[in-house]
């Protein structure tokens, strides 16, 4: 390991430019033969994760839960659901990951709980108990209808009536996921205390689910409709009426900034820890900049700008330009896939070469200014799985079928071998293994130098030894409409590194004039030809040029 690599791993700022591998525990590895992935299964495969040259892992929820939203409905924030193992299993995982040089981040879903959580069970009993105001309760309108027009992302009203209190409670997701009232100081503090529990256990940070959903408008004002002809920008399908509103009053409220400062103060008590917030908002890049600027709120945040359908060089350029106009010292975390969206190999690459396209798309996102989340199976180039209706598990998909099939297609089991169940489990798993995934299994790609898996390893190893790709500034350059180009730069003149990064995301050979002379670098796994100042990029290729 080079001295620079050692410094990166040991630094308090390891996350800045770090690559974080997202693990969806239910679908990573089943160690006990029940068809569901678990913590010991993850521990068993950590050597594989470390071999990718990533800096850390992010574990989706494994906490005690009735699993109506597969762990994003938590009934005990401080324990492990038995289906995933025990708290001791988590400690073993944490120790093994740290021994391999991997940081460990865990999901934290503090905007809402399960309706089985003791807090909510007490709150719903009456209007005078100790937890009466820990959730968002409101009286009906005189005609008995909900307090306002706010909608649940999962369909229907965001309000459910409770006969005990004769009031409605707010839930931005399932009715079994009541929203915590962050206007209540004791509720806020209780959630900070839950985060402290895991920090004291030794975790290196949190991915914060729906981080802009914590506060609501106290006046409960109606959201306005999206004006005719204007773009709907939230990360939800157009078939969902949720996208038909401008979400002004139910999320991204100004009070959230002060809470994020309190959260940062807690994190600062544990040097080297970090946060990355998920932002679903009408103006995600603006919110990302607001939430990560100044060094006193979130460390990182991500939106859905690269988690949606457009993928042309022009679109990506526009996303970068817009973020840079807003960013200041804000720090983004980029991702092409996660557990909530169609896999990028299908969403972006359905009409492209199934092996070459995922390689160049990943190289592109790994070269942007910011940190990166890499979703399990993305390093294999897995396409979206086709889950038949009778096997659909996701409540989101059941409500909006057939226009939207839910999120199960990106959550199917990881294929380790071209074998029954992909060697994920000895029995039929909770979601079916996609037959098209089996030829792409880890074992099949492991020794193939042309595989997406080894291209990912090569690109991440290349990235590690180039400081400009980790923490350098980014300046877009004009290399034509169909190519994406930018300069990553650290320092000035002889003291820094200046890299011109060029990407051909199309199936055609493209050429461009270099903005200045330079020397093509090797070791990243891509091919390009330089003749004078004319660079020719074959289909789905990239070039990294050290500028003179």
- DSSP-assigned states of every residue in 464-495: HT-HHHHH-EEEE----SS-EEEEEEESSGGG
The percent of residues in the chain predicted with pLDDT above 90, rounded, is 87
How far does CA 216 lie from the centroid of its chain?
Answer: 23
Which CATH number fits the domain 3-111+185-216+251-462, given the four candidates 2.70.98.40, 3.40.50.720, 3.50.7.10, 3.20.20.80? Answer: 3.20.20.80
For the chain, the domains span 3-111+185-216+251-462, 472-547
Q: Which residue has the higher pLDDT, 536 or 10?
A: 536
Would 3-111+185-216+251-462 and 472-547 be classified into the same CATH topology? no
Over residues 43-53, the mean pLDDT reads: 98
Q: Taking 70 as the threshold, does the pLDDT of residue 518 lie above it?
A: yes
Q: Which of 84-88, 238-242, 380-384 shows the lowest mean pLDDT across its residues? A: 238-242
Q: Which of 3-12, 422-431, 472-481 shows the lowest mean pLDDT across its residues? A: 3-12
pLDDT at 234: 66
Q: Taking 50 as the threshold, does the pLDDT of residue 224 lie above it?
A: yes
Query: What does the pLDDT look like over 292-320, one tens digit per residue?
Result: 999 999 999 998 899 988 889 999 999 99
Query: What does the pLDDT look like over 317-363, one tens digit per residue?
Result: 999 999 999 888 899 999 999 999 999 999 999 999 999 999 999 99
Rounded Cα gap, residues 225 and 541, in angstroms: 43
Q: Which residue has the higher pLDDT, 12 or 511?
A: 511
The answer to whether 369 touches 334, Cβ cutoff 8 Å, is no
Catalytic amino acids?
209, 269
Q: Taking 80 as the threshold, does the pLDDT of residue 115 lie above it?
A: yes
Coil/strand/helix, residue 97: helix
pLDDT at 493: 60
pLDDT at 229: 82
pLDDT at 235: 65
Q: Taking 80 as the threshold, does the pLDDT of residue 492 lie above it?
A: no
Q: Taking 90 as the threshold, does the pLDDT of residue 1 lie above it?
A: no
Which CATH number fits the domain 472-547, given the four candidates 2.60.40.1180, 3.40.50.300, 3.40.50.150, 3.90.1150.10? Answer: 2.60.40.1180
Over residues 45-61, the mean pLDDT reads: 98
Q: What is the DSSP string of 488-537?
A: EEESSGGGSEEEEEEE--SSS-EEEE-SS-EEE--SSS---EEETTEEEE
Q: Taking 80 as the threshold, does the pLDDT of residue 197 lie above it?
A: yes
Rounded Cα gap, residues 160 and 120, in angstroms: 14
Nearest by Cα to 100 from 197, 164, 21 = 21
pTM higher than 0.85, yes or no?
yes
């Amino acid at each position: 390991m080079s001295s620079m690599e050692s410094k990166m791993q040991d630094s308090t700022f390891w996350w800045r430019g770090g690559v974080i591998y997202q693990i969806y525990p239910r679908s990573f590895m089943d160690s006990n033969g029940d068809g569901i992935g678990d913590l010991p299964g993850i521990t068993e495969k950590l050597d594989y994760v470390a071999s990718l040259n990533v800096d850390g892992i992010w574990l989706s929820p494994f906490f005690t839960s009735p699993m109506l939203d597969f762990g994003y409905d938590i009934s005990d924030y401080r324990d492990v659901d038995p289906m995933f193992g025990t708290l001791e299993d988590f400690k073993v995982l944490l120790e093994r990951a740290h021994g391999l040089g991997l940081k460990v981040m865990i999901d934290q879903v503090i905007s809402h709980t399960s309706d089985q959580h003791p807090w909510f069970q007490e709150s719903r009993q009456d209007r005078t108990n100790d937890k009466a105001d820990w959730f968002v309760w409101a009286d009906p309108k005189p005609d008995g209808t909900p307090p306002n027009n706010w909608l649940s992302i999962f369909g229907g009203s965001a309000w459910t009536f409770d006969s005990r209190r004769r009031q409605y409670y707010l839930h931005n997701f399932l009715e079994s996921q009541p929203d915590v009232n962050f206007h209540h100081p004791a509720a806020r503090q209780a959630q900070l205390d839950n985060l402290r529990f895991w920090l004291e256990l030794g975790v290196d940070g949190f991915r914060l689910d729906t981080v802009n959903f914590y506060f609501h408008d106290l006046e409960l004002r109606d959201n306005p409709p999206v004006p005719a002809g204007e773009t709907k920008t939230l990360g939800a399908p157009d078939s969902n009426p949720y996208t038909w509103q401008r979400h002004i009053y139910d999320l991204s409220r100004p009070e959230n900034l002060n809470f994020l400062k309190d959260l940062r103060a807690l994190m600062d008590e544990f040097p080297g820890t970090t946060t990355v917030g998920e932002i679903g908002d009408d103006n995600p890049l603006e919110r990302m900049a607001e939430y990560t600027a100044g060094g006193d709120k979130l460390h990182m945040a991500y939106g859905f700008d690269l988690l949606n359908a457009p993928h042309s060089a022009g679109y990506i350029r526009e996303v970068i330009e817009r973020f840079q106009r807003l960013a200041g010292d804000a720090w983004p975390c980029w991702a092409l896939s996660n557990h909530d969206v169609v896999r990028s190999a299908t969403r972006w690459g359905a009409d492209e070469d199934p092996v070459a396209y995922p390689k160049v798309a990943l190289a592109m996102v790994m070269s942007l200014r910011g940190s990166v989340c890499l979703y399990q199976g993305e390093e294999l180039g897995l396409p979206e799985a086709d889950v038949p209706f009778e096997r659909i598990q996701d409540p989101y998909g059941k409500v909006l079928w057939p226009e939207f099939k839910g999120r199960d297609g990106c959550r199917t089991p990881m294929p380790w071998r071209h074998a029954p169940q992909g060697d994920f489990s000895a029995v039929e798993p909770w979601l079916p293994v996609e037959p098209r995934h089996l030829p792409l299994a880890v074992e099949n790609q492991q020794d193939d130098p042309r595989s997406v898996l080894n291209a990912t390893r090569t690109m991440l190893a290349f990235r590690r030894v180039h400081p400009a790709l980790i923490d350098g500034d980014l300046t877009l350059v004009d290399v034509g409409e169909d190519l994406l180009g930018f300069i990553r730069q650290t320092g000035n003149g002889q003291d820094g590194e200046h890299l011109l990064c060029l990407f051909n995301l199309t199936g055609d050979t493209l050429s461009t004039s270099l903005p200045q002379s330079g020397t093509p670098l090797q070791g990243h796994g891509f091919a390009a030809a330089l003749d004078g100042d004319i660079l020719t990029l074959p289909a789905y290729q990239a070039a990294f040029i050290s500028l003179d």
